[in-house]
Amino acid sequence: MYPGAHLTSRPHDPAVIMAEGGETVTFAQLESRSIQMARALADFGLQPGDHLAVLATNTARVFDIYWAAMRSGLYLTMVNWHLTAGESAHIVSDCGATALIVDAVLADIGTELIPLTPNVTTRFAYSGHIDGHDDLDAVAARQPTEPPGDQPRGADMLYSSGTTGRPKGIKPELPGRQIHEPGDTMTAMNQSVWGVGPDTVYLSPAPLYHAAPLRTCASVQALGGTVVVMERFDAERALALIEKYRVTYSQWVPTMFVRMLRLPEEVRARYDTSSMKVAVHAAAPCPVDVKRAMIDWWGPILSEYYSSTELNGLTIVDTEEWLDHPGTVGRAALGTIRVCDESGAETPVGTIGTIYFERDRLPFEYHNDPEKTRAAQHPDHPTWTTTGDVGYVDEEGRLFLTDRDSFLIISGGVNIYPREIEDALLAHPSVLDAAVVGLPDADLGERVAAIVQPVDGASGDHDLAEALLEHLRPRIARFKLPREVIFRDTLPRTPTGKLVKRNL
């Protein structure tokens, strides 16, 4: 399925509505615009199997680009626009992009990327001008709207932070089918599990460079539903949009729940949310009390899933089952759960271990990192893969998470790995040793904290803390900045030099 399949039944119905400006793109417009863009990319030399990188804020144009790539057999890499130029350049270069599309509101970083990404041969800007970039809007407008005869399905190749702190591309195989042929896992899941179809109105409050919002929006459009996209999340605004557009389906991270629950009772009561049939949440563990409060407010419509950008497996739990088994993330809906100890042996029911999903073939590989790909595979079963999470299953196969990769911080639903922050801190002349950990936070789930051992003669005081944050700002993305800096005389390390973070 894809949006063009709905031209005969609902060509003038909205495929996309932007929340703030109200810009609406119909299915007919999305089809013609994505065809024109696909033809423009082909004219600039992009062929099936090539890589296209995109640096974009939440705009309707993202879906023109997405479906242009999907009908051209391209790999599409969305780049987090909050990253620094250096961090963005790593992703653009690592994915092998020969073409880069930049939202004109990001002109500064687009310009910075030119000397940092020498392998990019084609640069486009849209919705405005950027020096050194072709005008994508003008180039596409000159193209015909008749679909090409050959439209091989492309794939997203998104990036997830690795344990080394360097983002790693998750590269699937290209599907080997045409755009109109069925076979997309997420689309099938949205249809069969959450009932997505032409009557669906989906609210997307999260950045489109993340896997879940991008893939879910695309699935809703493929099934003929309408996507309402928030340019940025605001708790009260989200409630107003649910009422205005009679939203039936939505997806959240726990931090968003917390912020909506913290609205004054009279504000929450002001908006009619009764149109919603399904409210999905994922991306980070949801505190039991928060989830209970949301169920009390919205009713038994919450559905939780546990998965990853790698999409190596997936579990789902609805409200009724969760209330009977609080804390579970559900039973397997994709793959078979295998929980293993450090030796690789499967653990008994109820025993904590590393979570693997068994598939019939290897579902992904980390681009340019065969060692990390091998590390994600079970030592004896290559098609069992893990993302490093830890938990156990009960007698009926329900999965419970007890931990994550020991160093991973999930703050506001975003994965943050400490090492790159630690490395940047250690580059400061006043730092002898440093560790970055996640501390419990009622709003974000976890907040980033830096624990620093200053060099002899340096005072661990407010001035040094401010100096360290100033040192970090140009080196790492804003969302990775520590919320606090804690000074200690020593940090716990083993005789071999390994940091014992659990003691911190």
251 assigned to some structural domain: no
HSE-up (13 A, CA, CB side) for residue 411: 21
326 assigned to some structural domain: no
On whether the CB atoms of residues 179 and 2 are closer than 8 A, the answer is yes
Q: Report in angstroms the alpha-carbon separations of 416 from 354, 403, 436, 453.
A: 20, 15, 10, 22
Which one of 160, 195, 226 terminates a domain? 226
The CATH number of the domain holding residue 442 is 3.30.300.30
User: Angle at which helices 254-261 and 288-298 pack, to 10 degrees?
Assistant: 60
pLDDT score of 379: 95
pLDDT score of 162: 40
Tokens of 154: 């492309």
270 assigned to some structural domain: no
On whether the CB atoms of residues 221 and 229 are closer than 8 A, the answer is no
The total number of structural domains that make up the chain: 2
Q: What sections of 369-461 are H helices per DSSP?
A: 370-376, 419-426
pLDDT score of 404: 58
The CATH number of the domain holding residue 189 is 3.40.50.12780
Task: Work out the angle at residue 470's Cα, subtended by the Cα atoms of residues 464 and 472, and round it to the nearest 5 degrees.
Answer: 105
Q: Are strands 399-403 and 390-393 parallel, antiparallel or unpaired?
A: antiparallel
Which one of 192, 226, 260 terminates a domain? 226
36 assigned to some structural domain: yes
Which one of 226, 253, 269 terminates a domain? 226
d(CA 92, CA 96): 7
pTM: 0.84
342 assigned to some structural domain: no
Identify the H or E element spanning 348. none
On whether the CB atoms of residues 55 and 79 are closer than 8 A, the answer is yes
Structure-token match 């008994």, residue found: 348
323's CB contacts (< 8 A; 6+ apart) are 295, 300
**Strands, E assignment, 72-179:** 75-79, 99-103, 122-126, 134-135, 155-156, 159-161, 167-171
Query: Where in the sequence is the domain holding 459, given as residue range(s)?
Result: 418-487
pLDDT along the chain (504 residues), means of 10: 93 97 96 98 97 98 98 97 92 97 98 98 97 97 96 95 64 94 92 97 95 96 98 96 98 88 92 98 81 96 94 96 96 97 95 94 92 94 93 96 72 82 86 89 92 89 95 93 94 61 75
235 assigned to some structural domain: no
Give the distance from CA 98 to its chain's centroid. Answer: 23
pLDDT in tens, 205-223: 999 999 999 999 999 999 9
261 assigned to some structural domain: no
492 assigned to some structural domain: no
